[in-house]
Chains A and B, each alone.
Chain A
Amino acid sequence: GAVVSQHPSWVICKSGTSVKIECRSLDFQATTMFWYRQFPKQSLMLMATSNEGSKATYEQGVEKDKFLINHASLTLSTLTVTSAHPEDSSFYICSARRQKDTQYFGPGTRLTVL
């Protein structure tokens, strides 16, 4: 149990376009989902925490208008990178937590902005 999926696994887009990444908990209900960003050969940096039905809490330095997070159900959270630019190219990883449990990570989405 505790499987988390992400879609797409990779995406290439043009500068200025918006990209939506989905994170789903497949076999459990996730009360909280987290979005991380990972640069090459670096660690994961938490971007935001989202609880189902409420607004996401963003980490300092993360632009909430650029990285839109929606946690519409207990099994789905989406991250939309708006007006993407090459510096937004990165590996985006989500995790999901069910109540009183640890975080389970998705396989990640590689975003390349041309």
Chain B
Amino acid sequence: GEDVEQSLFLSVREGDSSVINCTYTDSSSTYLYWYKQEPGAGLQLLTYIFSNMDMKQDQRLTVLLNKKDKHLSLRIADTQTGDSAIYFCAESSTGGYNKLIFGAGTRLAVHP
């Protein structure tokens, strides 16, 4: 079945870059997403990438997709304390119309 895996925890120093990794198993995935969840809040869509793309950049965020290895990464440049949150990777094979399959989430801690 479909599965999405992420490392559970990442700690970075303020100002450094953060790289959060994700692997997925569904070869029919056409959309891959990154969501951010702050404590006690819902999910905020950060960015998404189509499976026919290798890279997408949006201000401080860079998404890299290796479709062959089914590997997705999110790089946050110049990480700030406000970036501390849980980051979820999710995949969908129907453009989010139906099921989004989420990873367990990576908790990013930014320290001075």
Nearest CB in chain A: distance from B46 CB, A = 12
Binding site for A on B (CB under 8 A): 31, 33, 35, 40-45, 48, 88, 95-100, 102-105
Task: Compute how far the CA of A97 lies from the CA of B100 in the bound complex, rounded to whole angstroms.
Answer: 12
Contact indicator B95/A107 (Cβ below 8 Å): no
Q: Cβ of A6: which chain B residues have Cβ within 8 Å of it?
A: 42
**What is the predominant secondary structure among interface residues of chain A facing chain B?**
strand
Given A97-B96, A102-B45, 15 additional A-B pairs, CB 8 A: A6-B42, A43-B105, A44-B102, A95-B43, A100-B95, A100-B97, A101-B96, A102-B31, A102-B96, A103-B96, A104-B45, A105-B42, A105-B44, A107-B41, A110-B40
Check: A32 CB closer than 8 A to any chain B CB: yes
Task: Compute how far the CA of A110 lies from the CA of B41 in the bound complex, rounded to whole angstroms.
Answer: 10
On chain A, the number of residues with a Cβ less than 8 Å from chain B's Cβ atoms is 22
Task: Compute how far the CA of A49 lies from the CA of B100 in the bound complex, rounded to whole angstroms.
Answer: 11
Query: Closest 6 CB pairs between A and B?
Result: A105-B43, A102-B96, A107-B42, A43-B102, A105-B42, A108-B42
Q: Cβ of B45: which chain A residues have Cβ within 8 Å of it?
A: 102, 104-105
* Partner pick for A43 among B41, B42, B99, B104, CB 8 A cutoff: B104
Q: Cβ of A97: which chain B residues have Cβ within 8 Å of it?
A: 96-97
Q: Cβ of A46: which chain B residues have Cβ within 8 Å of it?
A: 99-100
Q: Cβ of B97: which chain A residues have Cβ within 8 Å of it?
A: 32, 97, 100
Jot down 8 A-B pairs with beta carbons below 8 A, ordered by A: A42-B105, A95-B43, A100-B95, A100-B97, A102-B45, A105-B43, A108-B42, A110-B40
Nearest CB in chain A: distance from B18 CB, A = 19
